[in-house]
Amino acid sequence: MTLSALKRRARPFAARCAWVVSALALVASPAFAHPNSGLGVGFVSGFTHPLTGIDHILAMVAVGIWGTQLRKPAIWLLPVTFPLVMSFGGALGVRGVPLPGGEIGVAASAAILGLMIVLSARPPIAVAAVIVGSFAIFHGYAHGVELPKAAYPLAYGVGFVLATGLLHVTGIALGLIERWPIGVKALRGMGAGISAVGVYLLLGLIR
């Protein structure tokens, strides 16, 4: 596939991402008007939280890469499924609903999603969405239980969904190198690294 053809195929998805990010930014814009308020604390805390944990970052980037490997409709379905289900998990965390094995689920997501990239696994789209959605609950729950007391839950949620979406877009951008032979090997190397970090974190949790 030529570079120009690749760019043409990427434009529709890029447009969807831009629309989603713009919409979320408009919703979140009041957070910056009063940075010392609960609204501002909520948005900033929510946006930065996914960026402070290597397990969160790697898992969310892995979702984007794997979606690219699976191609349409997974390239957009998986990155949309993750934040939606993650929001549900976040609500459980905010409400204090018990969810056993939360940290283990987060670490396992990096290990397993990385392995999916290494294997270039191509399960049915419904199965892939269930795998991603199951892990999203644990990630959302971890965000929810760490909601600052002074923060607004809605602004916090918008923040971490926006950050998650940007990490997915990063993964998709990385996944596009699969179009070239050397890119396939590079992605498998990335997947191996993501999985190795996930296994390391898992071992630290279960000792």
Pick the closest to residue 111 from 205, 192, 206 (CA basis). Answer: 192
pLDDT value at residue 63: 95
What integer best gives the mean pLDDT of the chain? 79
Overall average pLDDT of the 145-156 stretch: 75
CA distances from 161 to 25, 46, 136, 156 (A): 11, 8, 11, 9
- pLDDT cut 70: percent of the chain above it: 78
Flag whether pLDDT at 42 surpasses 90: no
Return the pLDDT at 21.
Answer: 39
- Do residues 69 and 117 make contact, with C-beta atoms less than 8 angstroms apart? yes
pLDDT at position 24: 37
pLDDT in tens, 159-179: 888 898 899 999 999 998 888
pLDDT beyond 90 at 112: yes
Q: Which of 21-30, 66-75, 96-105, 137-146 has the lowest mean pLDDT?
A: 21-30
Model-level pTM greater than 0.85? no
Assess contact for 174 and 187: CB atoms under 8 A: yes
- Check pLDDT > 70 for residue 31: no
Mean pLDDT for 15-33 is 40
45 exposure class (CB count in 10 Å sphere: 0-12, 13-18, 19+): buried
Give the domain ranges of the chain.
38-206
What is the model's pLDDT at position 47? 86
